[in-house]
Structures are given as structure tokens and as C-alpha cells.
């Protein structure tokens, strides 16, 4: 029987692969050889509040995943679906909601394996459903400061409150979710489905779910009050004392990837040629900043795009909206896209992804731009 994502993580099998980690490490080594600097200077390149916030959230989401409650609840809801379109709407809505609460990649780790099993039981169009889920997590995660790494970074830099950041992102997210509903309506027919009964029930640990929920609320309050170290101490101390196995599943490689992105891309932006070129571009604010964020995301993904452009764009709403919309289009626009396709194990996933995601980018990008100009 195949291991679950949590089991694989505990056994040391990276769920999404560590290729990007080694590439970023090689780039860091190259910079160290070509442009050496003091060791402490490298630490100063990392935005530690963002990395620390992500570390706490990853531990909490491991607790949520290991509780089994989400999987059991999703299975019961899916069993009540009567047609394909309703089922896909439920899957995409769940992905969008979860991504706003437990980050985009974790929501994929929870839902894509379940979707793959359901596809064999109900003959779902797996590639299409997984692509729609990838679009959903990119859209839903854009709402909250904790939904994805680029939001965490921009929130920490902005000084906005938790609710203030949500209010800033709400119009763009509304546009993306509206187009997501349109995409499901157009791409998924309303045909009857019949799900087979589950052969074995998921193991549920309500106490672990309650602990994770309490820590989640407390950690968000700590982040909002800028008590990061205290919040991290409570989260990791509680799990270490009560459920130490949870910490074994934390994606430490992801934390290293985010830290190395800061190290590499900030050094890249410091290069005289790059800094001079970006400094000359009229991308400081408004629609130019928004379009620059979308275009840069297509080339280097939206998290690095936010890191690189933060120095040159002085319009936080435009930058945040641009990197959020930039998660659509090219598969490289967001790491969540790659994670979704990898988890689904689709032979023709890239072709199906771009067939849906590129038109989705054009529609969302244009609508959100008109909204900003209006």
C-alpha cells in the first residue's frame, strides 16, 4: 500500500522533491565564490520573520493533517455528491478555503491524494480536476497573509494588520474565485456519478485537531502582535511535549528553499546591471507594477518575484495582486502548480495545465486590472 504524504514525509521522502533546493544552494555557492561576503551578511539577507512564520504554520498544519479529521470530513461530503460538477465545485471550494487557512501547498497535500483515489472510484477527469484545484489554491491562498509564502513576506514588510491585509486582497481574490466558478461550469459537465463505499475508515484524532486549532489561533495572534519568537516557542514546545511525532513531518526543505530564495535573489537584485535595469523601469506603482509582477512570476515563480520586486515597487496592493494573479499561466508561476501535478502523477499534466491555466491568467489578469483602473 502506498504511503500517505505524512508517512512519506516522516520516512524522509520529500513529497515534492528537493531539486529546487539543490539548484538554489548551487547558486548561493556560486555567489559566495564570485562575490564573497562576511558570514553574518548572508544571514542578514534572509527575511527571518517570514521564514519563522512559515515554520510555525508548517508545524501546525502537520498536526491538522495527522489528525485525520479533514480527510474523514471530506470523504463524507464527497459521498453525498450526486453529479460531477457539484463534486468538482466541492473539491475546488475546499481547496480554496483550506489554502487560505493552512497554506496552498498543504491543502494540496491533503486533497490531491484524496482526489486521485476518488478518480479511480468515480471515473473523474483527474487531470482537469487537479488543475482546477491548483488554480483554486492559488486564488484562495491570496486572501490571507498566511495563505502562501509571498503573502507572508509582503505582510511582514507592509506593517498591515491581519484583517487589513485581507481587506486589501479581497477584491483581487473575488475576481479570481469568480473566474474559477466560471471555469468549473464550462469545463465540467453536470453528469451523474456513483461513488463506491470506502473500504476502510480514516483514523481520526480529535484531540490533535483541537490542539492544532488552538495553536493556530494563538500563533496568528502572535504574528499580528509581532510576537514571533514567543509564538514559535509555544507551538514547537506544545508539539514537542504532547505530540513529538508531528514535528518529524515538518517540511524543513521548504524552509531552506525559502531562506535560500532570499539569499540568492537579493544578491541577484544587488548586481549593478540588474539593479540599474530594474531601477530604470517605470514599475514603481500602479498598473505597471501590477503587470511587472505578473510577468516576472511567469519567469521565476511568484515567491521569488515578490522578493526581487519588493525593492523596486512601492505600491504594495499592486505588487501583492500581481504576484497572486501571476501564479496562473505558466506552470512555473507558482510552486503549488508543480506540487499539484507531482502529487497527481499525471502523464500529460503539463499540457492540460497550460490549456486551462493560460486562458485563466488572461481572464483574471485583465479583469483585476480593470478593477484597479476603475
Residues of the chain with pLDDT under 70: 1-17, 70-71, 73-74, 77-78, 194-202, 374
CA separation (Å) from 153 to 38, 211, 257, 285, 367? Answer: 24, 26, 14, 18, 25
Residue 202: the pLDDT is 62
Residue 13: the pLDDT is 43
Residue 374: the pLDDT is 62
**Nearest CA to 343 among 62, 111, 11, 67?**
111
Residue 205, judged by CB atoms within 10 A of its CB (0-12, 13-18, 19+), counts as: middle
Residue 267: the pLDDT is 86
320 vs 287: CA distance, rounded Å: 12
| Cβ atoms < 10 Å from Cβ of 136 | 30
Please give the model's pTM, rounded to 2 decimal places.
0.76
Contact by Cβ (8 Å): 33, 355: no
Please give the grid coordinates belonging to residue 372. 484597479
Residue 361: the pLDDT is 97
Tell me the CA end-to-end span of the chain in Å, nearest whole number: 54
Q: Is the four-CA dihedral 300, 303, 307, 310 of positive or negative sign? A: positive
**pLDDT tens-digit readout, 237-252:** 999 999 999 998 888 8
Please give the grid coordinates belonging to residue 221. 495572534
Q: Please report how many Cα atoms fall inside a 13 Å half-sphere around the Cα of residue 345, on the Cβ side.
A: 7
Please give the grid coordinates belonging to residue 299. 519567469
Q: Where are the alpha helices (DSSP H) in the chain?
A: 5-10, 19-34, 39-45, 48-67, 69-79, 84-102, 104-122, 126-141, 149-158, 162-187, 206-224, 228-242, 244-248, 252-270, 272-280, 286-300, 302-309, 316-325, 335-344, 349-373
252 Cβ neighbours under 8 A, 6+ residues apart: none
350 Cβ neighbours under 8 A, 6+ residues apart: 331, 341
192 vs 198: CA distance, rounded Å: 19
What per-residue string of b and e applies to 80-93 under the rule 16 or more CB within 10 Å gives b? ebeebbbbbbebbb
Amino acid at each position: 500500500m502506498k504511503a500517505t504524504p505524512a508517512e512519506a514525509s516522516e520516512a524522509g521522502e520529500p513529497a515534492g522533491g528537493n531539486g529546487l533546493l539543490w539548484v538554489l544552494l548551487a547558486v548561493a555557492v556560486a555567489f559566495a565564490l564570485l562575490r564573497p561576503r562576511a558570514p553574518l551578511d548572508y544571514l542578514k539577507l534572509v527575511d527571518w520573520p517570514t521564514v519563522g512564520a512559515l515554520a510555525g504554520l508548517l508545524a501546525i498544519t502537520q498536526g491538522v493533517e495527522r489528525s485525520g479529521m479533514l480527510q474523514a470530513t471530506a470523504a463524507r461530503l464527497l459521498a453525498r455528491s450526486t453529479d460531477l460538477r457539484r463534486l468538482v465545485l466541492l473539491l475546488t471550494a475546499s481547496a480554496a478555503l483550506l489554502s487560505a487557512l493552512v497554506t496552498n501547498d498543504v491543502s494540496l497535500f491533503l486533497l490531491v491524494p484524496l482526489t486521485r483515489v476518488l478518480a479511480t472510484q468515480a471515473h473523474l477527469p483527474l487531470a482537469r480536476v487537479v488543475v482546477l484545484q491548483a488554480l483554486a489554491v492559488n486564488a484562495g491562498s491570496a486572501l490571507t497573509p498566511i495563505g502562501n509564502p509571498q503573502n507572508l513576506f509582503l505582510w511582514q514588510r507592509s506593517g498591515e494588520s491581519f484583517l487589513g491585509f485581507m481587506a486589501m486582497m479581497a477584491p483581487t481574490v473575488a475576481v479570481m474565485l469568480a473566474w474559477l466558478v466560471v471555469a468549473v461550469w464550462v469545463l465540467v459537465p453536470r453528469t451523474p456519478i456513483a461513488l463506491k463505499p470506502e473500504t476502510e475508515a480514516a483514523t481520526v484524532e480529535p484531540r490533535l485537531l483541537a490542539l492544532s486549532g488552538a495553536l493556530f489561533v494563538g500563533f496568528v495572534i502572535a504574528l499580528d502582535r509581532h510576537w514571533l519568537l514567543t509564538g514559535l516557542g509555544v507551538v514547537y514546545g506544545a508539539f514537542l511535549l504532547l505530540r513529538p511525532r508531528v514535528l518529524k513531518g515538518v517540511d524543513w526543505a521548504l524552509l531552506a528553499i525559502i531562506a535560500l530564495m532570499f539569499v540568492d535573489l537579493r544578491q541577484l537584485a544587488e548586481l549593478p546591471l540588474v539593479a540599474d535595469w530594474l531601477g530604470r523601469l517605470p514599475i514603481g506603482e500602479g498598473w505597471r507594477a501590477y503587470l511587472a509582477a505578473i510577468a516576472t512570476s511567469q519567469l521565476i515563480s511568484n515567491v521569488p518575484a515578490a522578493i526581487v520586486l519588493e525593492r523596486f515597487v512601492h505600491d504594495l496592493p499592486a505588487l501583492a495582486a500581481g504576484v497572486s494573479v501571476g501564479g496562473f499561466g505558466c506552470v512555473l508561476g507558482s510552486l503549488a502548480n508543480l506540487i499539484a501535478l507531482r502529487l497527481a502523477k499525471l502523464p500529460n499534466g503539463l499540457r492540460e495545465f497550460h490549456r486551462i491555466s493560460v486562458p485563466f491568467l488572461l481572464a483574471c489578469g485583465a479583469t483585476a486590472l480593470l478593477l484597479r483602473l476603475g
